[in-house]
C-alpha cells in the first residue's frame, strides 16, 4: 500500500505537497497550499525507513537535501501543522539516522515559526508568514483566540530540538506555554478550546477531546514519557485533565458504548469526532505507564472508546468510519449530518488499535485492523493512489480525490506497526508525536543523540 501511494505521488506530484489520484495531478488546495514543500515526502519518509523501502527513502532524502527550504517563499503556514509534519518528521529522521541534514532542516523550519510566539502571553498565533514573520490567528476562532490543540502540541518537538541542538530557546518557548496553562483557572478542571494570546483569557467555553482540543492532552502524557518520566508536572496535568474529562465528558450509550462527548457551555453534545478516536490509545497508555488510583478506570475507558470507534466503522457499509458520530435514543455511533459522513483516510482509530494491541496483545485489535485494510483496499485504492470517501454510508461512495500526507505518515505506519513485532519501535523507547513521528525517550533510547548545551558567549573574561 505504501509503495503504491508513494509511486503515484512520485509520478504525478513529486515535490508538491499532496497527490490527487483521480486527476493524476498535485493537490493545490492542501493546508500547505501550492508551494513546493514536499509535504508527502517529509511526512512519509520515516514510514519508508521503518518499512525498509531503501530506494524510496533515498529518493526522498535527496529531494530534501536539494530542494527543501522555507526561504524565499511567502507562505502563510499553520504553526501547528508545520510543526507536527515538518519539524516532527525531520526530528524522527535525525533520531533514526543521525544524519545532520535532518537536524539542520528541523531547526530551519522551527526558526521560521518562532515569530508566532511574540505575543504578550507567549501563547503563539496560529499562522505565520515565512517571509515577513507576520503572525495572526484565524478569523473564525472565538474573538482572535489561539486554539488549544495547536499551541498545546509543540512541546515534544521543541523540547527535543533543544536537546539535539544544545539551544535552550525552543524548550523555553514551550515551557512558557506550559506555565500559562498550569496557572490559569480551569472551569471545572476542564480546558476550553480557545485562549486569547493577548489577554491570556479563555474564549468560548467549548471543550473537546476531538478537534481543537485533542493533541494537547496527548502531549501532556507524552512529554512526561519523552522526558524519561522526569517531567512530573506534565504527568500531573495529564491526570488532572483526564479525571475531569472522565467525569464531565465520558459517557456510556444506552447499549453500553463508551464515548467522549464534546461539551459546549456546560451542555453535552453527545457527538464524538473521529479525531477523538486516538484517545482510546491515550487512556490506555496513561494506564500502562503509571500504577496509580486511576489506572483501572483509564484502561477501561481506553478499551471502551476503542471499541466504540470500531463500531462506528462496522456500522457503515464501507466498514470505514465517519468524520463525526452521534449518540441518542435513536442512534449510536453514527453520523447524522451530511458534512460528518466523509472519511479522509484518517489514522486515529488505527492508532488506538496499535497501542491497545501493544499493551494487551488481544487478537481482536489485529483483526479490526485487518478489516480496515480490506476496506481501504476495496473503497479507497485507485489505480493512481488512495482517496478519501465522501459518504461512508453508501455502498459505492464517491471518492474525494485527495491522498493526504498523513495517510503515508500515520495511517499506513500504524497499520504496519500493528502487524509488526513489539521490538519494532518499542513503546518504552519511543513516543509518537501527533503525526505518528516516533521520537526517542530520554535515558531509554540510544538514538536520543543529545548535544552538549551551548550557552550564549559572554564578553566577561
Q: Among all residues, which ones are annotated catalytic?
A: 81, 214, 323, 348
**For 213, phi and psi rounded to 5 degrees?**
-125, -45
Closest CA relative to residue 415, chosen from 346, 359, 362, 353: 353
Q: Which set of grid coordinates corresponds to residue 132?
A: 515577513
d(CA 269, CA 54): 47
* CB proximity list for 212: less than 8 A, separation 6 or greater: 147, 148, 149, 193, 194, 206
* CB proximity list for 154: less than 8 A, separation 6 or greater: 79, 80, 83, 124, 173, 174, 177, 219
| DSSP H helical ranges for 68-167 | 79-81, 88-97, 100-113, 148-151, 155-165
Point out the annotated binding site for Ca(2+). 434
Q: Are the CB atoms for 321 and 312 separated by under 8 Å? A: yes
Q: Are the CB atoms for 48 and 56 separated by under 8 Å? A: yes
What angle is formed at CA 208 by the lines to CA 216 and CA 75, rounded to 5 degrees? 55
d(CA 397, CA 390): 6
For residue 5, give the DSSP letter: H
Q: Are the CB atoms for 373 and 357 separated by under 8 Å? A: no
Point out the annotated binding site. 434
Kindly provide the residue ranges of all beta strands, DSSP E only, lying in 155-241, ordered along the sequence. Answer: 194-195, 206-207
Amino acid at each position: 500500500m505504501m509503495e503504491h501511494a508513494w509511486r503515484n505521488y512520485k509520478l504525478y506530484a513529486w515535490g508538491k505537497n499532496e497527490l490527487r489520484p483521480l486527476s493524476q495531478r498535485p493537490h493545490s488546495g492542501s493546508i500547505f497550499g501550492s508551494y513546493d514543500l514536499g509535504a508527502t515526502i517529509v511526512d512519509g519518509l520515516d514510514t519508508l525507513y521503518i518499512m525498509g523501502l531503501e530506494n524510496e527513502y533515498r529518493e526522498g532524502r535527496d529531494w530534501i537535501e536539494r530542494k527543501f527550504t522555507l526561504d524565499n517563499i511567502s507562505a502563510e503556514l499553520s504553526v501547528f501543522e508545520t510543526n507536527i509534519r515538518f519539524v516532527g518528521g525531520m526530528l524522527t529522521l535525525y533520531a533514526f539516522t543521525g544524519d545532520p541534514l535532518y537536524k539542520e532542516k528541523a531547526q530551519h523550519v522551527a526558526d521560521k515559526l518562532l515569530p508566532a510566539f511574540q505575543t504578550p502571553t507567549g501563547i503563539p498565533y496560529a499562522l505565520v508568514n515565512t517571509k515577513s514573520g507576520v503572525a495572526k490567528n484565524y478569523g473564525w476562532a472565538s474573538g482572535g483566540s489561539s486554539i488549544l490543540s495547536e499551541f498545546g502540541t509543540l512541546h515534544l518537538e521543541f523540547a527535543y530540538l533543544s536537546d539535539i541542538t544544545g539551544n535552550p530557546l525552543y524548550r523555553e518557548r514551550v515551557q512558557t506555554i506550559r506555565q500559562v496553562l498550569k496557572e490559569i483557572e480551569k472551569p471545572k478542571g476542564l480546558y476550553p478550546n480557545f485562549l486569547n494570546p493577548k489577554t491570556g483569557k479563555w474564549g468560548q467555553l467549548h471543550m473537546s477531546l476531538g478537534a481543537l482540543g485533542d493533541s494537547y492532552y496527548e502531549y501532556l502524557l507524552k512529554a512526561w514519557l519523552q522526558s524519561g518520566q522526569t517531567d512530573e508536572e506534565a504527568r500531573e496535568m495529564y491526570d488532572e485533565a483526564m479525571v475531569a474529562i472522565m467525569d464531565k465528558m465520558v459517557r456510556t450509550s444506552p447499549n453500553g458504548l463508551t464515548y467522549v462527548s464534546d461539551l459546549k457551555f456546560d451542555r453535552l453534545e453527545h457527538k464524538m469526532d473521529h479525531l477523538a478516536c486516538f484517545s482510546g490509545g491515550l487512556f490506555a497508555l496513561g494506564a500502562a505507564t503509571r500504577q496509580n488510583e486511576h489506572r483501572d478506570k483509564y484502561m477501561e475507558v481506553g478499551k471502551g472508546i476503542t471499541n466504540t470507534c470500531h463500531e462506528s466503522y462496522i456500522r457503515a457499509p464501507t466498514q470505514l468510519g465517519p468524520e463525526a458520530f452521534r449518540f441518542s435514543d435513536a442512534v449510536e455511533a453514527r453520523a447524522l449530518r451530511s458534512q460528518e459522513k466523509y472519511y479522509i483516510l484518517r489514522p486515529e482509530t488505527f492508532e488506538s488499535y496499535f497501542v491497545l494491541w501493544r499493551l494487551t496483545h488481544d487478537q481482536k485489535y489485529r483483526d479490526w485492523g485487518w478489516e480496515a485494510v480490506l476496506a481501504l483496499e476495496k473503497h479507497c485504492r485507485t489505480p493512481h493512489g488512495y482517496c478519501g470517501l465522501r459518504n461512508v454510508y453508501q455502498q459505492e461512495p464517491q471518492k474525494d480525490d485527495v491522498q493526504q500526507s498523513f495517510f503515508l505518515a500515520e495511517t499506513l505506519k500504524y497499520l504496519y506497526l500493528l502487524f509488526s513485532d513489539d521490538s519494532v519501535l518499542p513503546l518504552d523507547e519511543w513516543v509518537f508525536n501527533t503525526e505518528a513521528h516516533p521520537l526517542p525517550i530520554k535515558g531509554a533510547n540510544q538514538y536520543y543523540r543529545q548535544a552538549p548545551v551551548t550557552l550564549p558567549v559572554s564578553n566577561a573574561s
